């Protein structure tokens, strides 16, 4: 198939899929999964495992994920590895064709699973070249398309990609949040046992605001010793307080934190005024920062993968973390009431804050991992201990 570095390449024989960037660049490949077309921002993920978790992470809403690891789909898919049942990534780009799955846990193949979810796959792309393009020029807007007959209107696809407004200013959390209050029961998964169950004993009560959460976050809160109630991210402060929380968790999610913050930040500020303990991750971390007076910025390429080194400033310990974010807290001018607690060793960007005088902190990365690494589970324990 065509090298992802060559623009406007003619359609090669057998091409049934295409990735068209807003600048007119065209990369031909072999489509799989759902047919049709979808628009989004192209990003890359460097994790070697966890493609099913990635594709069902709501934080990837309106994004097309390029997997840098060449062999994707080779262990199949199964229901136990889903991270949500709402929209995540709209499509994925991979190097090698998806092979017949080989794993005792597999319940199906990646292509059929993507088709069921309405997500488009594109194989045969030079993902290294595409990744270099993103690193040099930033995450582009694009259309991914799959037609088994190989018929594509390239000018129309370029136009659609160019006219898509992009993620800045986009409130996607409202799209992917759950719409009902839910009492969460499940604990973490283990081989041969499935998911643990929450013990029915008096426990600290955590109200988790869902801005596009991965289910494994709630499982880790249960593992750390909490009773968990999940509420929509649009819940007003009166609704949160009515549940009598001992602490409030702010979840990950997609889109621009400033856009979601238009309704979430006042709620967080109200919680801070009442000295209710707060723990935020990813989007929740960013909105906690906004509530304290900090600012967020759109990143050039973002951080997505399972091998990101983060330095804990209190003691110099380095955590290997799982990340998925295209926005970051601006650490060049943090307010006096915000302490920076963690930084990325890749680029020095902010990866953690604490609000001075409050039991409120957040991290940019995903301590629940799923899959790995597990360096940061202590943060769930720290949060639950603060509720005493």
Tally of CB atoms within 10 A around 98:
22
Q: Do domains 17-163 and 173-385 have the same CATH topology?
A: no
Per-residue pLDDT of the chain in tens (388 residues, 90 and over written 9):
444 444 567 999 999 999 999 999 999 999 999 999 999 999 999 999 999 999 999 999 999 999 999 999 999 999 988 899 888 999 999 999 999 999 999 999 999 999 999 999 999 999 999 999 999 999 999 999 999 999 999 999 999 999 999 999 999 999 999 999 999 987 787 777 778 777 767 899 999 999 999 999 999 999 999 999 999 999 999 999 999 999 999 999 999 999 999 999 999 999 999 999 999 999 999 999 999 999 999 999 999 999 999 999 999 999 999 999 999 999 998 999 999 999 999 999 999 999 999 999 999 999 998 777 889 999 999 999 999 7
Cβ distance 55 to 3 under 8 Å? no
CA–CA gap between residue 354 and residue 313 (Å, rounded): 12
The Cα diameter of the chain in Å comes to 65
Angle, CA of 172, 175 and 176, to the nearest 5° = 95
What one-character DSSP code corresponds to residue 378? H
CA–CA gap between residue 280 and residue 62 (Å, rounded): 22
Tally of CB atoms within 10 A around 67:
25
Burial of 294 (0-12, 13-18, 19+ CB in 10 A): buried
Omega of the bond prior to 219 within 30 degrees of 0, cis? no
CA–CA gap between residue 81 and residue 285 (Å, rounded): 25
Residue 194 confidence (pLDDT): 76
Q: Which CATH architecture has domain 173-385?
A: 3-Layer(aba) Sandwich (3.40)
CA–CA gap between residue 128 and residue 213 (Å, rounded): 30
Burial of 79 (0-12, 13-18, 19+ CB in 10 A): exposed
HSE of 222 in the Cβ direction (CA atoms, 13 Å)?
Answer: 22
Domain 17-163 has CATH 2.40.50.140: no
Residue 4 confidence (pLDDT): 41
Query: Where are the chain's structural domains?
Result: 17-163, 173-385
Collect all residues with Cβ–Cβ distance below 8 Å to 192 and sequence separation of at least 6.
Answer: none
Q: Which residues are catalytic?
A: 282, 366, 368
Residue 264 confidence (pLDDT): 98
Residue 8 confidence (pLDDT): 65
Residue 277 confidence (pLDDT): 98
């Amino acid at each position: 198939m065509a090298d992802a570095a060559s623009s406007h390449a003619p359609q090669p024989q057998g091409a049934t899929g295409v990735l068209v960037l807003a600048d007119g660049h065209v990369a031909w490949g072999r489509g799989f999964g759902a047919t049709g077309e979808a628009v989004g921002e192209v990003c890359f993920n460097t994790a070697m495992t966890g493609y099913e978790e990635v594709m069902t992470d709501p934080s990837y809403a309106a994004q097309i994920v390029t997997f840098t690891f060449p062999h994707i789909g080779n262990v199949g898919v199964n229901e136990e590895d889903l991270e949500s049942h709402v929209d995540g990534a709209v499509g994925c780009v991979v190097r090698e064709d998806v092979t017949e799955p080989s794993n005792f846990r597999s319940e199906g193949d990646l292509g059929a699973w993507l088709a069921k979810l309405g997500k488009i796959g594109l194989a045969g792309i030079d993902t290294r070249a595409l990744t270099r393009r993103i690193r040099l020029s930033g995450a582009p807007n694009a259309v991914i398309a799959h037609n088994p007959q190989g018929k594509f209107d390239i000018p129309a696809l370029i136009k659609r990609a160019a006219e898509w407004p992009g993620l800045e200013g986009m409130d996607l959390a409202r799209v992917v949040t759950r719409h009902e209050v839910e009492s969460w029961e499940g604990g973490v998964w283990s081989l041969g046992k499935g998911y643990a169950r929450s013990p029915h004993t008096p426990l600290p009560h955590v109200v988790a605001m869902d801005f596009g959460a991965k289910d494994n976050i709630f499982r880790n809160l249960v593992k750390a010793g909490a009773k968990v109630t999940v509420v929509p991210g649009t819940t007003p402060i009166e609704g949160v307080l009515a549940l009598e929380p001992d602490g409030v968790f702010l979840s990950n999610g997609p889109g621009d934190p400033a856009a979601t913050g238009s309704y979430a930040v006042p709620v967080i500020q109200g919680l801070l005024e009442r000295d209710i303990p707060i723990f935020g991750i990813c989007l929740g971390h960013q909105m906690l920062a906004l509530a304290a007076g900090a600012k967020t910025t759109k990143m050039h390429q973002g951080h997505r993968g399972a091998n990101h080194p983060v330095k804990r400033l209190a003691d110099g310990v380095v955590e290997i973390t799982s990340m998925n974010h295209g926005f970051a807290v601006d650490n060049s001018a943090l307010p006096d009431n915000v302490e920076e607690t963690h930084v990325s060793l890749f680029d020095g960007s902010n990866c953690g804050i604490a609000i001075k005088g409050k039991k409120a902190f957040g991290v940019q990365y995903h301590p629940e991992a799923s899959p790995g690494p597990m360096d940061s589970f202590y943060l769930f324990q720290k949060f639950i201990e603060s509720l005493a």
